Amino acid sequence: MKNERTSTSTSTRTVLFAVSVAVVSALIGIVMLTGSSSRASAAAASDASSTDQQPSVAVETVSVQRGEIGQPVHAYGVVAAGTGNVTSISLPYVAKVEQVRVQPGQRVTRGTPLVVVQADASAVVAAEQAKSAVTLAQGELDRTKALFEQALATRSQLATAQKALSDAQQNDAAQAKLGIAGGTKTIVSPVDGVVLQIASAQGDQVAAGTAMMQLAGTGSEGQQRANVMLGIEPADAVSVHAGDLVAVRGLSTALAAHPAEGHVVLVGAAVDPQSQLVDVGASAMLAQTQLIPGTHVEADITTRSGTHWIVPRDAVLQDDHGSCVYQVEAGNKARHVPVTVSVESGDRYGVDGALNAKAPLVLAGNYELTDGMAVRVDGAASAGSAKQ
């Protein structure tokens, strides 16, 4: 009996030990499995976090546009009548000045009375004699024809009479073209302009061809003649051509508010020895402005005008291959675009390149970008920044 109880006790302890070993093994397996799952979750979270935190750059953008832009050349000068823009008022016959109707510096229009004159008596007599000579020659020709028909005059006499009438008619026409007539005559302005100077006074006897006064044309009659003389740096002369647009402004605040538009009519081919500048003549519409002859002015000449992409100066960078810009494409990715700067106009450039008209142009933060880099558009600059 004692041996049986001992055997039973030993078997029980063996079973309990085996069960304990199995339970411990199971717990160890559960712990290992849980640890592996936690490490996998942590790795996945780490990968996701890494993906979410890819490098990106905060940028500001503007819209890009294509349009007309030119490169300005700044110049200074004076409103002055060039020799081709001065009109002298004179008479082709001797006359006496009866009355002067204008003053130096006065603005006049076409048809404005300038001076009243009376032709010299000898000139009037010559005009009347020319008319009488025509009447006499016509009568002599009629008489010669009648005699010729009666065989009482030769063909040579008829030809002489015809020649005398033709000469008399030409002389009368020349006198009529001079405009000589008895009494007083009012001379009017042939152009819109300004009276530069008056050389004759009331009572003066003026010889034929002597200038009584000079006018500087300012209206449409002077559009092809220079009425503003400017000076530019010799380095800029190669860029300026006849026909380039010009905006002329007075140096004072009041005059600068109302610029006169015009165009270049001539560009000097030599440097002025006194100013060391190249002379440029411009024709500007001055009739409706306060820019009278003698006014000192400044001007912007628009050169190299053409159609380009108009971008802010700050948007253009320099890299190893030249000039470039960045645009923001779909997915907020930066795209590197090589460009060629064709025109510089203040804070704007006129560039050529394969820009996308619909993609925003990076204005700020572009120096940190590389092609394909992620960007964050934190703000957009005023759309007008590329249009000013």
One digit per residue, pLDDT tens: the chain, 388 residues? 444 444 545 555 555 555 565 555 655 655 455 555 555 454 444 444 444 455 778 888 898 889 888 888 999 999 876 666 788 899 988 999 999 999 988 888 889 999 999 988 888 888 888 889 999 999 999 999 999 898 888 999 989 999 999 999 998 888 888 888 778 899 999 988 888 889 999 999 999 889 999 887 765 444 567 788 899 999 998 889 988 999 999 988 888 888 888 899 889 989 999 999 999 988 888 777 788 788 899 999 988 888 999 999 999 999 888 999 999 998 889 999 999 998 888 888 999 999 998 899 998 888 888 888 888 887 555 444 454 4
Nearest to 168 by CA among 124, 215, 136: 136
Angstrom distance (rounded) from CA 303 to CA 194: 30
- In three-state form (DSSP H/G/I as H, E/B as E, the rest C), the secondary structure along 277-313 is CEEEEEEECCCCCCCCCCCEEEEEEEEEEEEEEEEEH
Sign of the CA dihedral with 327 first, then 332, 333, and 334 last: positive
- Predicted pLDDT at 222: 43
Angstrom distance (rounded) from CA 32 to CA 22: 15
CATH class of 83-217: mainly beta
- Predicted pLDDT at 25: 64
- The alpha carbon torsion through 96, 99, 103, 106 (nearest 10 deg) reads -100
Q: What is the strand order of the sheet 205-206 is part of? A: 184-188, 113-119, 95-100, 205-206
Which residue is listed with tokens 């628009």? 302
For the record, the structure tokens of 48 come out as 């996701």
Q: What is the largest CA-CA distance in the chain?
A: 202
Specify the CATH superfamily of domain 73-82+218-305.
Answer: Efflux pump adaptor protein, beta barrel domain (2.40.30.170)
- Predicted pLDDT at 81: 62
In the chain, domain spans: 57-68+307-386, 73-82+218-305, 83-217
Query: CB within 8 A of 202, min separation 6: which ones?
Result: 97, 98, 99, 100
- Predicted pLDDT at 317: 92
Q: What's the CATH number for 57-68+307-386?
A: 2.40.420.20
109 CA to centre of own chain: 28
- Predicted pLDDT at 9: 52
Task: List 187's β-bridge partners, or say none.
Answer: 115
Q: Do domains 73-82+218-305 and 83-217 have the same CATH topology?
A: no
For the record, the structure tokens of 329 come out as 């494409």
Nearest to 93 by CA among 168, 196, 202, 174: 174
